[in-house]
């Protein structure tokens, strides 16, 4: 079973479970490696209510060490964070990277320019008064900026903007193709994130067409659950593996302090 690198901890304020329970679930699921990548702090604080505070950062490192201690020789536990891409975040992201010997950092776009965390259910009503095509354009332009930064090993849930099922009319490849070019140039991997199957969009992130374009461009892939509870570790991985193979992928990538090796699907 591929590694599951996108998982969370209770420090983000919307996840449950102790590190030992996550490790046990990962072992039971048979994943190659278990990676911890909670929402990184962002300043100035308080920034929002769904991430750890900077003062909790030492607790996060303790959580990782508890997981590693419990796993022992039974399972490799990787350390990462999910960092938000917001205009002007580069210096802060570099500071976070230098705080620890991370195996990988995930970059994600959850915010648009007006500080709208568009995937937060509390703002769902805002979509009714929104030009969906314009929002999609803003999202993908922001995603390109994130890829261009070169700060991240993995780029998270590429088409998260569709979470609530809002999509513009027409051929969506007009959004995908420029992003694929930017990701390929950056050298970052992308994730096939299974959480989307359990959201209103009822579809994995990213769309299969995006995944096929990424494969054609030689972009590396990880498969992720985005688990917020031990029961979600490796959720729907069998279905995700089949989808990745259908897109032409034959392997996923493993990270060890930023270096890569590959595992056959």
CATH class of the domain defined by 10-264 = alpha beta
pLDDT of residue 114: 75
Per-residue pLDDT of the chain in tens (265 residues, 90 and over written 9)? 999 999 999 999 999 999 999 999 999 999 999 999 999 999 999 999 999 999 999 999 999 999 999 999 999 999 999 999 998 999 999 999 999 999 999 999 999 987 899 999 998 889 888 999 999 999 999 999 999 999 999 999 999 999 999 999 999 999 999 999 999 999 999 999 999 999 999 999 999 999 999 999 999 999 999 999 999 999 999 999 999 999 999 999 999 999 999 999 9
Q: What is the pLDDT of residue 34?
A: 99
Q: Which two tokens stand for residue 239?
A: 């279905």
Instruction: Return the pLDDT at 55.
Output: 98
In the three-class reduction of DSSP (H, G, I as helix; E, B as strand; rest coil), residue 227 is classed as strand
β pairing state of 259-264 and 251-256: antiparallel
Q: Count H helices, E strands: the chain?
A: 7, 8
Residue carrying structure tokens 């490696």: 33
Q: How far apart are CA 150 and CA 188, in angstroms?
A: 7
The pLDDT value recorded for residue 129 is: 85
Interatomic CA distance for residues 152 and 164, integer angstroms: 26
Crossing angle of the two packed helices 132-149 and 173-186, in degrees rounded to 10: 10
């Amino acid at each position: 079973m591929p590694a599951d690198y996108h998982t969370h901890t209770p420090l983000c304020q919307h996840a449950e479970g102790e590190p030992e329970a996550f490790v046990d679930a990962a072992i039971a699921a048979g994943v190659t490696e278990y990676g911890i990548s909670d929402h990184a702090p962002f300043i100035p604080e308080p920034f929002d209510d769904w991430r750890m505070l900077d003062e909790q950062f030492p607790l996060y490192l303790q959580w990782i060490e508890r997981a590693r201690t419990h796993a022992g020789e039974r399972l490799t536990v990787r350390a990462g964070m999910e960092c938000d891409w917001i205009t002007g975040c580069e210096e802060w992201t570099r500071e976070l990277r230098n705080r620890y010997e991370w195996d990988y950092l995930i970059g994600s776009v959850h915010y648009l320019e007006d500080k709208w965390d568009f995937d937060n259910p509390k703002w769902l009503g805002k979509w009714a008064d929104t030009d969906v095509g314009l929002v999609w354009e803003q999202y993908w332009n922001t995603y390109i900026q994130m890829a261009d930064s070169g700060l991240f090993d993995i780029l998270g849930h590429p088409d998260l903007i569709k979470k609530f099922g809002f999509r513009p009319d027409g051929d969506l490849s007009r959004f995908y193709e420029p992003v694929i070019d930017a990701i390929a140039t950056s050298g970052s991997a992308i994730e096939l994130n299974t959480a989307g199957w359990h959201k209103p969009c009822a579809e994995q992130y990213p769309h299969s067409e995006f995944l096929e374009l990424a494969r054609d461009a030689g972009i590396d892939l990880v498969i992720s659950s985005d688990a917020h509870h031990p029961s979600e570790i490796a959720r729907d991985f069998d279905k995700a593996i089949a989808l990745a193979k259908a897109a032409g992928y034959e392997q996923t990538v493993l990270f060890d302090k930023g270096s890569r090796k590959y595992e056959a699907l």
